[in-house]
Structure 1
Amino acid sequence: MNLLDIRNLSIELKTPNGNILAVDRVSLSIKEGEVRGVVGESGSGKSLLAQAIIGVLEDKWHVNADRFHWRGIDLLRLSIEERKQILCRDIAMIFQEPMSCLDPTTSIGEQLNEVLDTKQFKGFFWQKRKQRKEAVIKLLHKVGIKKHNICIKSYPHQLTEAICQRVMIAMALARKPILLIADEPTAAMESTNEGQIFRLLASLNQLKNMSILLISHDLENITHWTNTITVMYSGQFVEAGTTEQIFAKPMHPYTRALVDSSPNANLQLPAKSRLMTLPGSIPILNHLPIGCRLGPRCPRAQQACVTAPKVNNFHGHKVSCHFPLTTSLRKDNY
């Protein structure tokens, strides 16, 4: 059974000139212990999707789905408060800008104290205080922060971005979530710190059997850490499959372009050669193309692309395209 099972999720932005469909009928499922990547350019709707899952979008966003199940529970049938209670208990999220998420007026130790579950502490108040301090130190050690005494007393601006990101991960782990959503967890980090964060997430998955939804714009980077990948473009579902299927045999022109823009996929190219890129840029919300939103940039676009393509399933490798790159495989019912 899937931990998370979302079918045809749409997110609309309410504006004075009408609603804008920012995310258009995207489906996503995550199994227990799975590490799933969500990939796409900036503006593809990845962060919106993650925020819709944990229910932190502002009122100007309207979320609708045909199915929204968590561990077999239909969340759409629950009240907002009941839904938030379940999601806050079982799902945690690491945001991509830790400096803007941490409170600049409160020390790291105090902020970690706030997220601890008070039910785990027993005894008199002075015993609980000692237990809380030990729990904070244990969390910092778990995410690789050895100098806990300095970190606890520090404010966010006194720490590096890499340390702040580790603090965010510690705060997410404090509630022992079943699913951890990591939204660009290594953005603007050096490669050394980037590798440390990814290895930390991988260890949490392997040792704690924690499911992880890893959001990134870098397809090549997350292929080393994920089991499955979902590709999005301009708020639409593009392709999904195992990491090997997506990187070795992409079926959508957009996924092919992402793979071809990777140096490791073009080792045969002469030195200083240009990598393949699609012309143009991702459309803004006010001027979204009709049908397949990749159409204006797609080298395989035809007249049929003015209508939104259906999702075709080739033995678990799903693609949303009228003219996929590989059509010799037998199609399954979606």
Structure 2
Amino acid sequence: MKIFYTAIFLILISCSSTKQDQKHSREVKLLEQAREDFGAGLNEVSYFGKERPNDKVINLGHQLFYDTRLSKSGTVSCSKCHLPQLHFTDGLNKSIGESGKSAPRNAQTLINTAAQISQHWDGNRNSVEHQAERSFFVPIAYNLKSSQQVKEKLIENSYQASFKEAFGKDIQKLSGDQALKLATTAIGAFERTLVGASRFDDYLSGDVQVLSTVEKRGLKKFMEIGCSSCHGSSLVGGQMYQKFGLVEDPYKYTKSTKRDLGRFNHTKDEDDKEFFKVPPLRNVTMTSPYFHDGSVKDLDKAIHIMGKVQLGEDLSQLDRADIIAFLKTLETKEDRITELFKIPTLP
């Protein structure tokens, strides 16, 4: 009888060991697939390939980002459409700019934005510096007319000392174009520091226990359904352009009354009609409303629509809930958010 119980005990141990081995194998396979689709994760100190300037340049950019005095009306700044407390979005369908005029599209988050293939939904800005430069002259943004006017605004608002400290230059001796170049370099430098890692990055680094069973199930579905074919890379998107409505017309679901030709408006290439930059999904759970026109406020609805119009999939409520659980793992960590939300003192 003793031999019998010993045999049963050994069989149970063997079964338990086999189940653990199988679970470990599944964990390893899921992590390997995630790394294949998303890379090794974000590096908190990454400067996205650019040499990090000195802190005085970044601090100057921080000030310029928040300073409404630099706009024609004195009411517009980068931070008006990209509020830190809203994860550098504005929570509106479409941003409201100079004189209450509406922007053509929804404002995207600036967290991790410098690593994207381009800026704006249609990719009409090739870098954060380019975006900052053009914003000075867009009528619904700063609404200035020339680089000389930008220089005059900087001098009027006592930026001489800050420019001297940051670049070793006397702004009053610079041309308008030179002053504009340094200003946008500083704004870009600040925006390049808006890097926010998440629990998902810890997972990609090898901490497989940091995600729950439901979150891992959502990750698995996200990859298997095909979401990561567009929303891949370390940003979970932001690296390619795709047509909005590959399988079905999205406008019958979003109820938007105005069709947007997307990237075509920038390139004038017929093949670019209704193509948009694939948005990164980091912090997507915190940055409603969704799509280029902000037409959908609910994330569950947005996922349901994307399943239908991009993948031809009618995702179940459970599938959507699991995917949302995964997307929550992309939220920037609280301690980093607190650091990013600091408001500067202006000169």
Fold match by TM threshold 0.5: no
Which of 1 and 2 has greater Rg?
Answer: 2
**Which is richer in helix?**
2
Relative to its length, the structure with more strand (as a share) is 1
TM-score grouping bracket, smaller chain normalisation = under 0.3
Q: Give the TM-score, by structure 2 length.
A: 0.26
